[in-house]
Structure 1
Amino acid sequence: MTSRKVLVTGAAGFIGSHLVEELVRRNLTVRAFVHYNSMGSRGWLDMSPRYIRDALDVFAGDIRDPNGVRDAMKGCDAVFHLAALIAIPYSYHSPDTYVDTNIRGTLNVVQAARDLGVAHVVHTSTSEVYGTAQFVPITEGHPLQGQSPYSASKIGADQIALSFERSFGTPVTVVRPFNTYGPRQSARAVIPAIITQIAGGARVIRLGSTEPTRDFSFVSDTVAGFIAADEQRAAIGEVVNLGSGFEVSIGNTAELIAEIMGVEIQIELDQSRQRPARSEVDRLFASNTKAQKLLSWTPQFAGLDGFRRGIEKTVPWFRDPVNLSRYRTSAYTL
């Protein structure tokens, strides 16, 4: 892998920045595609160690622009495509932007990869495409259900990516992470929402629905899954779940976090944080059998013990005053 140059779209984000750092540690040449902004911010990559930042070839652009995507991809052997709009509540507000970014952005990536002869595209899906589980554990053969504009846009993006593999032989692998958590995650996600409220001094924690279950994966496991997917040619044309194989309710998650942080909390349901009733995904619980067989990937933070260890690694990062200052602990942002 050391002689390869890879492009990471969405490199400035939560999972993307962790992936970029690990790729640099593995001595790959990394071009980091970040969303252009007038302040020159590189998102979470600005917080990476100096040796990581110095190693990067940074390309500022917009995934919706096919010309910029093509320029960014020139000279790259592989692409990790993570750029997307991911906030579910905002997708109710502005669904058009999800079609433009997630579907058209993915089209731009696979079209450029096809034209430039890129050796591999690892495309990022999401467990949200399954909707509420019709059976568990959820295998890759589970029906797809667009229960939010976000999930519908990701179904479309996945199918665009896979269609290029089937139509043109573009080497595409679709990885489908379940609910990834860890340092740097946006407080729009439930685990950082709970941690930041507690770290900010709240003891009455405002949440949406507490009954749904999720299959939480620590970010280092997700990153390892992406890299394994890139290394395995047998995964081309395949969809592969990346999940811990363990489910826990939102309510129990809040209780575990409070225990680890050494506080007692009360949960107050906040209607503004709840999805429309038919849009809520009530249960997610992954089968990772295919990933274990096809990618030789096994989560290191699996089960209740692994989940506890992952939370114990996540809490100190958010408790750091420098990191906590980047979050509005008393406000809910779409």
Structure 2
Amino acid sequence: MSKVLVTGADGFIGSHLTEELVRQGYNVRAFVYYNSFNSWGWLDQSPQEIKAQLDVFSGDLRDPYGVKEAMKGCTHVLNLAALIAIPYSYHSPATYVDTNITGTLNIVQAAKELGVEKIVHTSTSEVYGTALYVPIDEEHPLQGQSPYSASKIGADQMALSFYRSFDTPVSIIRPFNTYGPRQSARAVIPTIISQLASGQTTIKLGAISPTRDFNYVKDTVQGFISVMNAEKSIGEVINIGSNYEVSIGETAEMIADIMGVNLTIETDEQRLRPEKSEVERLWAENKKAKELLGWQPQYGGKEGLRKGLEETIEWFTNPKNLAQYKADVYNI
């Protein structure tokens, strides 16, 4: 019987994915970041019936011995563990190399030695940089416009090199901007919602002209499961996106409309990326995912975005959930 290891299971997307895998009947080992609080991150808030079925492994992706130990007995590995905050990558770029590139090497090296059936490695739309053409397909050039995106380009290439060198069964999933319940407030949609939900009508943002292809977390989760199960995905890079482009400013207005707030946006200088580092435009071509996986977004287009935002707002405006965010503090 297959056993699935999810690294980064304690995080935003990882916790949603872990829960869905359990619901679908998979045997799941959840790799969480070791800490002295014995915290499982967002999995601490999972339903008890989900937690009771989890095999939790606490470790660090940077430790090759621990990674290999976690992977023993697992047939599939979904590698989501990574450092992802772009502003923090300006501050501490070496940690991104250690976690994202070396951590990925530890995964694929152990997979090669253990004979794992499938590795799904998580990429990001940030590796494309500002779109040179739209919609962005998987053949679009890669542009490292931040230390974070450079580290993810390196991680992707490390994973693919093991497929090409050793036939390690690697697939690369490349989600565009995922949003939803539990997302860190350093991301733009939770930043907007948490500020409005805390009673502010004048909110602080960085640049609002860049466009993004927002992908609701339920769609991203189904993308992971589809890539994991598709034989045709081995050796492939596959975009998971909604194929709908919207600006940050328009997104903020839509959120304000749903929440019934008259919104004023104030530019906060510390939230602005350096000019050549800002990714001005992202818009996913998702044709390959549809053809290879039979996957398509359930929250696509303007209507889908609004539906996903409504579900996200409902979660964030629950006082219990909102209390976990510091809406008045900018977190890099």
> Which of 261, 268, 271 is the aligned partner of 2:269?
271
Q: What's the counterpart of residue 86 of structure 2?
A: 88
1:1-334 to 2 correspondences below 5 Å: 3-334=1-332
CA distance in 1, matches of 2:104, 2:76: 15
SS at match of 2:282: coil
CA distance in 2, matches of 1:4, 1:20: 15
Q: Structure 1 residue 201: deviation in Å?
A: 0.7
CA distance in 1, matches of 2:26, 2:263: 45
Q: Structure 1 residue 239: deviation in Å?
A: 0.1
CA distance in 1, matches of 2:115, 2:24: 24
CA distance in 2, matches of 1:274, 1:198: 20
Q: Percent identity?
A: 66
Query: Over residues 231-267 of structure 1, what are the superposed CA-to-partner deviations in whole Å (9 max), with x where a residue is unaligned?
Result: 1011100000000000100000000000000110100
SS at match of 1:279: coil
Q: Structure 1 residue 49: deviation in Å?
A: 0.2
CA distance in 2, matches of 1:47, 1:228: 25
CA distance in 1, matches of 2:206, 2:327: 16
CA distance in 2, matches of 1:93, 1:273: 13
CA distance in 1, matches of 2:180, 2:2: 28
> Which amino acid in structure 2 is aligned with residue 274 of structure 1?
L
Q: Structure 1 residue 309: deviation in Å?
A: 0.4
CA distance in 1, matches of 2:75, 2:101: 23
After TM superposition, the score normalised by the length of structure 2 is 1.00
> Which amino acid in structure 2 is aligned with residue 325 of structure 1?
A
CA distance in 2, matches of 1:95, 1:329: 26
CA distance in 2, matches of 1:119, 1:306: 34
> Which amino acid in structure 2 is aligned with residue 195 of structure 1?
I
SS at match of 2:266: strand
SS at match of 1:79: strand
Q: Structure 1 residue 111: deviation in Å?
A: 0.3
CA distance in 2, matches of 1:331, 1:204: 14
CA distance in 1, matches of 2:331, 2:309: 22
> Which amino acid in structure 1 is aligned with residue 254 of structure 2?
L
- Count of equivalent residues: 332
Query: Over residues 120-161 of structure 1, what are the superposed CA-to-partner deviations in whole Å (9 max), with x where a residue is unaligned?
Result: 000000000000000000000000000000000000000000
SS at match of 1:276: coil
Q: Structure 1 residue 184: deviation in Å?
A: 0.2
Q: Structure 1: any 5+ residue segments left out of the alignment?
A: none
> Which amino acid in structure 2 is aligned with residue 86 of structure 1?
I
SS at match of 1:196: helix
CA RMSD of aligned residues (A): 0.4
SS at match of 1:76: coil
CA distance in 2, matches of 1:254, 1:230: 34
Q: Structure 1 residue 186: deviation in Å?
A: 0.2
> Which amino acid in structure 2 is aligned with residue 196 of structure 1?
S
Q: Structure 1 residue 4: deviation in Å?
A: 1.4
Query: Over residues 74-109 of structure 1, what are the superposed CA-to-partner deviations in whole Å (9 max), with x where a residue is unaligned?
Result: 000000000000000000000000000000000000
Q: Structure 1 residue 332: deviation in Å?
A: 0.4
After TM superposition, the score normalised by the length of structure 1 is 0.99
> Which amino acid in structure 1 is aligned with residue 231 of structure 2?
R
CA distance in 1, matches of 2:328, 2:201: 11
CA distance in 2, matches of 1:218, 1:80: 19
CA distance in 2, matches of 1:52, 1:150: 32
CA distance in 2, matches of 1:212, 1:43: 31
